[in-house]
């Protein structure tokens, strides 16, 4: 299924490794963001199966999709429930319209409950079977796999939003800032403990911590609130995780972060880090704020989902051509999570665009 | 009976309480309005609702964001809570702009945007049928047939849940071609709205009422044309 208009001289693993050395790869690599749902459906499973099937099923599905579509493969260790780090009630996707697990009852509903919450035992999020499997998976080398594993560990504001709900977090930023700070403190401590657990369990070499920050976008909060509530905790978590020895962090400022970019600039990402930009932010606008990091992004997921293959090909071309001009390195990706129900022909159109326009 | 100047002052303070999301002040000034004989209807519309409209404008200008909108809505409803018994007792009814069904489509629980929409339609004088979140496809169809609402507003936050939208739109249009359907939410854009057969698209809570008004006016013109 791979279509090569020029002969590749590097594997996807080597492409990412070249970028980490701040060298140009032979071609722009494609590292899809959150491809598990699509990979499972492509392999004949349901979206919900990624939470319920043994980890090797998800791993193999993603590996197969990576081979077929010429992707970077960065397997992410699956948690027990997907969400609900601090408890509460989580519902798994029940049909094709539901993209991921979601919280139906929050672990804390009132300020008092927030103030009494403690950081839970990280180990409870991962079953022994999952950990054993990923220890074995770490040993497997693959031409698409620059990192042994990745894990979600630095999503401070998303974690905070999952404790009491984003609406309450938003209101408390104004009404009860001490409660909002407590939520962020809990989330930051949880992130730091998660990274420590992964260091103790898997080591730090070629292990990639990842973080998503949908809850801090300017579609939700102001840059003033980003500075007050997101920046100090993100900065602390990133500093502490890097001090543990992790070399690179992967972050996704999800959604519209234009007004937050000067604050993002203050957050260390590693040497270099990976910054996945959403389509609400222009790649060339974002790049100067991350002069030492590899920029990823930012094909609109809506066009992937509803566009024709020709429309996807053309949209991908524009992203690739813009991304290739970025001085600190570029990896093609989606603007947000890869739509699980994306038409396969549209994904092939992306592969075709990369092979037509992605060469350096 | 409050003087014209005092009435103006109370209305201004009511609006400011909402705009500056001071819930206690909204209650205080609503009580003052009742005590001093200001028309409760006027206090609600020209005071509190006007404050929320200005809050929505600040949101559109990116001076306000979701936290400010949510807090302003709390102040609005706190003040309305004081005025409503007097409005009810007066027997007066607000002029209804139109009617709208709101809901987050099946498979999706992200309802902050939909809840903000509800506030903005409320202050604009619409009758609202709020179906909540993760709403089954057929529930939208049933509710539209039951209420004959002018507009159906569908919200989605994910590329999976938005796939429910064309199914809902087709079903509603098949059962009741009169209904106008608008869509919104993170993965939606005008192209998606058109592909899905929606009649309208709203980028945010701040623009949704204008879009709904546009659809309503089109609908009224069409119906007038048919009647003639």
Q: Is B65 on the interface with A (CB under 8 A)?
A: yes
Per-residue pLDDT, A4: 56
Q: Is A176 on the interface with B (CB under 8 A)?
A: no
Segment holding B141, helix H or strand E: helix B137-147
Q: In what order do the strands lie in the sheet with B151-155?
A: B127-130, B99-104, B151-155, B180-184, B200-202
Per-residue pLDDT, A81: 63
Residue A179 covered by a domain: yes
Q: What is the pLDDT of residues A218-277, one digit of tens each?
A: 999 999 999 999 999 999 999 999 999 999 999 999 999 999 999 999 999 999 999 999
Look up tokens 């200008």; give the residue.
Answer: B61
Chain A neighbors of B191, CB-CB under 8 A: 302, 306
Neighbours of B7 (CB within 10 A): 20
- Averaged over A319-323, what is the pLDDT? 98
Query: Which of B65, B72, B73, B165 to mutate against chain A (most A CBs within 10 Å)?
Result: B65
Q: Which residues of chain B from 116 to 155 reach within 8 Å of chain A, CB to CB?
A: none
Architecture of the structural domain at B4-94? Orthogonal Bundle (1.10)
Q: Which residue of A has its CA nearest to B116?
A: A167
Give the range of the structural domain holding residue A169, as residue numbers without chain letter.
Answer: 12-357
pLDDT at A3 over 60: no
Helices A166-175 and A156-164: angle between axes, nearest 10 degrees: 100
pLDDT at A84 over 90: no
Residue A6 covered by a domain: no
Residue among A103, A221, A339 minimizing CB distance to B67? A221
pLDDT at B36 over 90: yes
Per-residue pLDDT, A177: 98
- Averaged over A61-72, what is the pLDDT? 97
Distance CA A238, CA A287 (A): 19
The answer to whether the pTM exceeds 0.80 is yes
Residue among B21, B70, B160 minimizing CB distance to A99? B160
> Mean pLDDT of all residues in chain B?
94
State residue A104 phi and psi, 5-degree precision.
-105, -20
Gap from B63 CA to chain A (nearest CA, Å): 8
Gap from B228 CA to chain A (nearest CA, Å): 40
Chain A neighbors of B62, CB-CB under 8 A: 218, 259
Q: Is B58 on the interface with A (CB under 8 A)?
A: no
Per-residue pLDDT, B42: 93
pLDDT classification of A5: cutoffs 50, 70, 90: low
Per-residue pLDDT, A125: 86
Q: What residue segments make up the domains of chain B, in order of their start?
A: 4-94, 97-227
Residue among A96, A170, A304 minimizing CB distance to B163? A96
Q: Which residues pair with A290 in a beta bridge?
A: none
pLDDT at B174 over 70: yes
Label the pairing between strands B99-104 and B180-184.
unpaired
CA distances (Å), origin B194, targets A168, A340, B165, B187, B200: 34, 22, 11, 13, 8
Q: Of A12, A3, A11, A67, which Cα lies nearest the Cα of A39?
A: A67
CB contact under 8 A, A339 and B159: yes
Gap from B107 CA to chain A (nearest CA, Å): 4
pLDDT at B155 over 60: yes
Handedness of CA B185, A163, A34, A21 (dihedral sign): positive
pLDDT classification of B204: cutoffs 50, 70, 90: confident
What is the DSSP secondary-structure string of B70-123?
A: HHHHHHHHHHHHHHHHHHHHHT--PPP--EEEEEEBTT----HHHHHHHHHHHH
Q: Are A192 and A241 in contact (CB under 8 A)?
A: yes
Per-residue pLDDT, A242: 98
- Averaged over B11-37, what is the pLDDT? 97
Chain A neighbors of B77, CB-CB under 8 A: none
Please name the residues in contact with A96: beta carbons below 8 A apart, sequence gap of 6 or more. Answer: A46, A47, A341, B107, B160, B163
Per-residue pLDDT, A315: 98
CB contact under 8 A, B160 and A218: no
Residue A302 covered by a domain: yes
Q: Which residue of B has its CA nearest to A220?
A: B66
Chain A neighbors of B67, CB-CB under 8 A: 170-171, 173-174, 220-222, 225
Distance CA A56, CA A62 (A): 10
- Lowest-pLDDT range, A112-121, A160-169, A238-247, B86-95? B86-95
Q: What is the pLDDT of residues B59-74, one digit of tens each?
A: 999 999 999 999 999 9
Q: What is the pLDDT of residues A92-112, one digit of tens each?
A: 887 778 877 788 889 999 999
Gap from A242 CA to chain B (nearest CA, Å): 32
CATH of the domain at A346: 3.20.20.210
CATH topology of domain B97-227: Rossmann fold (3.40.50)
Neighbours of B129 (CB within 10 A): 17
A100 against A314, higher pLDDT: A314
CB contact under 8 A, A99 and B158: yes
Residue A218 covered by a domain: yes
Q: What is the pLDDT of residues B110-151, one digit of tens each?
A: 899 999 999 999 989 999 999 999 999 999 999 999 999 999
pLDDT classification of A45: cutoffs 50, 70, 90: very high
Our count of domains for chain A comes to 1
Strands (E), A227-323: 250-252, 274-277, 294-299
- Averaged over B5-9, what is the pLDDT? 96
Chain B neighbors of A337, CB-CB under 8 A: 159
């Amino acid at each position: 299924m791979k279509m090569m208009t020029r002969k590749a001289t590097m594997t996807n693993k080597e492409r990412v490794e070249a970028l980490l050395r701040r060298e140009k790869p032979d071609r722009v690599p494609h590292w899809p963001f959150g491809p598990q749902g699509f990979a499972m459906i492509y392999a004949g499973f349901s979206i919900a199966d990624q939470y319920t099937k043994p980890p090797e099923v998800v791993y193999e599905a993603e590996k197969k999709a990576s081979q077929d579509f010429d992707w970077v493969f960065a397997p992410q260790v699956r948690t027990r429930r997907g969400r609900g780090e601090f408890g509460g009630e989580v519902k798994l996707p029940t049909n094709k319209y539901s993209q991921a697990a979601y919280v139906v009852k929050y672990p804390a509903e009132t300020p008092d409950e927030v103030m009494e919450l403690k950081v839970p035992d990280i180990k409870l999020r991962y079953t022994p079977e999952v950990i054993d499997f990923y220890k074995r998976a770490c040993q497997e080398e693959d031409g698409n796999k620059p990192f042994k594993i990745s894990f979600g560990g630095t999503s401070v504001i998303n974690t905070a939003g999952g404790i009491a709900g984003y609406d309450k977090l938003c209101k408390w930023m104004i009404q009860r800032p001490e409660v909002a700070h407590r939520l962020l403190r809990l989330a930051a401590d949880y992130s730091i403990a998660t990274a420590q657990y992964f260091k103790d369990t898997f080591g730090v070499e070629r292990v990639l911590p990842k973080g998503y920050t949908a809850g801090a976008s300017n579609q939700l909060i102001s840059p003033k609130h980003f500075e007050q509530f997101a920046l100090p905790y993100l900065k602390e978590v990133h500093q502490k995780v890097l001090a543990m020895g992790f070399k690179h962090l992967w972050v996704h400022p999800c959604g519209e972060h234009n007004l937050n970019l000067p604050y993002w600039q203050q957050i260390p990402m590693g040497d270099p880090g990976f910054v996945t930009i959403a389509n609400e932010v222009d790649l060339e606008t974002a790049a100067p704020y991350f002069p030492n990091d590899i920029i990823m992004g930012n094909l609109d997921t809506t066009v992937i989902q509803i566009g024709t293959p020709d429309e996807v090909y053309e949209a991908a071309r524009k992203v690739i051509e813009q991304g290739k001009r970025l001085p600190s390195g570029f990896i093609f990706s989606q603007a947000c999570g890869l739509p699980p129900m994306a038409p396969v022909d549209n994904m092939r159109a992306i592969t075709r665009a990369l092979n037509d326009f992605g060469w350096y | 009976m409050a003087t014209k100047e005092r009435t103006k002052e109370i209305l201004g303070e009511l609006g400011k309480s909402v705009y500056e999301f001071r819930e206690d002040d909204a209650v205080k000034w609503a009580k003052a309005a009742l005590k001093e004989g200001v028309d409760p209807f006027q206090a609600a519309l020209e005071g509190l609702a006007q404050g929320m409209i200005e809050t929505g404008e600040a949101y559109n200008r990116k001076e306000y964001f979701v936290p400010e909108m949510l807090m302003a809505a709390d102040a609005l409803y706190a003040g309305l809570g004081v005025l409503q018994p007097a409005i009810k007792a007066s027997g007066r009814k607000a002029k209804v702009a139109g009617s709208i069904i709101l809901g987050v489509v099946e498979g999706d629980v992200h309802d902050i945007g939909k809840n903000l929409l509800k506030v903005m339609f409320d202050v604009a004088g619409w009758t609202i049928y709020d179906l909540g979140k993760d709403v089954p496809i057929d529930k939208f169809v049933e509710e539209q047939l039951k209420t004959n609402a002018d507009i159906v507003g569908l919200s989605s936050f994910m590329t999976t849940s938005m796939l429910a939208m064309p199914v809902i739109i087709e079903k509603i249009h098949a059962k009741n071609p009169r209904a106008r359907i608008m869509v919104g939410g993170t993965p939606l854009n005008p192209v998606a709205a058109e592909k899905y057969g929606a009649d309208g698209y709203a980028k945010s809570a701040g623009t949704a009422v204008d879009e709904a008004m546009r659809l309503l006016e089109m609908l009224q013109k069409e119906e007038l044309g048919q009647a003639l």
